Amino acid sequence: MPPAASDWNAAAYHRVSEPQFAWGVAVLERLALRGDETVLDAGCGSGRLTAELLRRLPRGHVIALDRSAAMARRTRETLGAAAHAVVVQGDLLHLPLRAAVDVVFSNATFHWVLDHDRLFAEVRTALRPGGRLLAQCGGGENLARVHAVAARLMDEPDFGARFAGWEEPWHFAHEEETWRRLEAAGFTDVRVALVEAPTVFATRAELREFLATVVLRPHLARLESDPALHERFLESVTDTLAAEAPRLTLDYWRLNIEGRAAAT
């Protein structure tokens, strides 16, 4: 994963991440469980979906992993004293698990990992033979509109120096490449589907907070030392998305990923 200039604001994410939570609940509805499995929540965020997982595993266990220290702390707060969960701060490209889990579940995380070949190899290694991967992340043209707005600002003289050496810290994969990577990593019964998920916000203020907390976090991290530039960048992107059709809308695309770890 690319190094982060600043950690997530986990409290704000917990508050504004209703779109991610709704997508994740819909993915969980496709996950048939007996209730005694061990599940890795790969990129647990603030723990809202981890809590949903635990309710489906009365006799099972959840390993909740996130690279962010702030998110791991917030997940511990969300889960409280749940005895059948452990929260780990860790890297999906260096999983400390070998044939240890029955299911790897992930929501809104894999696009923050740049090396998907290694990602799927690590996930496959963590799964027991026959174990399942069920994930959803950004893919294809995810957020192309808002990123284009941000890119135009980054090219302006006032911002240009702050974005010297900028590299996108996300990878929005497409269906065919993901299918190939899964099969190469040792997955069978592979299913990959890219679906459009435009997300409309009720007010400009809600859109602004979501942009600041989630979508523009990597950009704004470059501007933390200059509050005026930070504010101008955020306001400019928000103004554009609030004024231009479709108004108050983020152009999300979700990549659904399923597979089963081949028997060794």
* CATH number, residue 18: 3.40.50.150
Range of the domain at 14: 10-143+168-200+251-261
In a domain, 85, yes or no: yes
In a domain, 133, yes or no: yes
- pLDDT value, residue 81: 85
Q: How many CA atoms lie within 13 A of 202 on its CB side?
A: 3
Q: Residue with structure tokens 């602004």?
A: 208
In a domain, 99, yes or no: yes
- pLDDT value, residue 6: 67
- pLDDT value, residue 83: 80
Q: Exposed, middle or buried: residue 110 (CB in 10 Å: 0-12, 13-18, 19+)?
A: buried
Cα-only R_g, the chain: 19
Cα 53 to Cα 49: distance, rounded to the nearest angstrom: 6
In a domain, 188, yes or no: yes
- pLDDT value, residue 80: 93
Residues 6+ apart with CB under 8 A from 170: 111, 112, 114, 138, 218
- pLDDT value, residue 205: 98
In a domain, 208, yes or no: no
* Token pair recorded at residue 98: 């070998």
- pLDDT value, residue 5: 46
- pLDDT value, residue 171: 98
pTM for this structure? Answer: 0.95
Burial readout 53-80 (b: 16 or more C-beta within 10 A, e: otherwise): bbebbeebbbbbbbbbebbbbbbbebbe
In a domain, 206, yes or no: no
Q: Residue with structure tokens 């997940």?
A: 75
* Token pair recorded at residue 79: 């889960």
Strand partners, 87: 64
- pLDDT value, residue 3: 40
Cα 139 to Cα 179: distance, rounded to the nearest angstrom: 13
Residues 6+ apart with CB under 8 A from 264: 129
Q: Please calculate the CA angle 174-50-104 and round it to the nearest 5 degrees.
A: 45
Cα 262 to Cα 260: distance, rounded to the nearest angstrom: 6
> In which residue ranges of the chain is pLDDT below 50?
1-5
Percent of the chain with pLDDT over 70: 97
In a domain, 124, yes or no: yes
Contact indicator for 71, 44 with CB cutoff of 8 Å? yes
Q: Residue with structure tokens 């007996």?
A: 34
Split into its structural domains, the chain has a count of 1
- pLDDT value, residue 237: 98
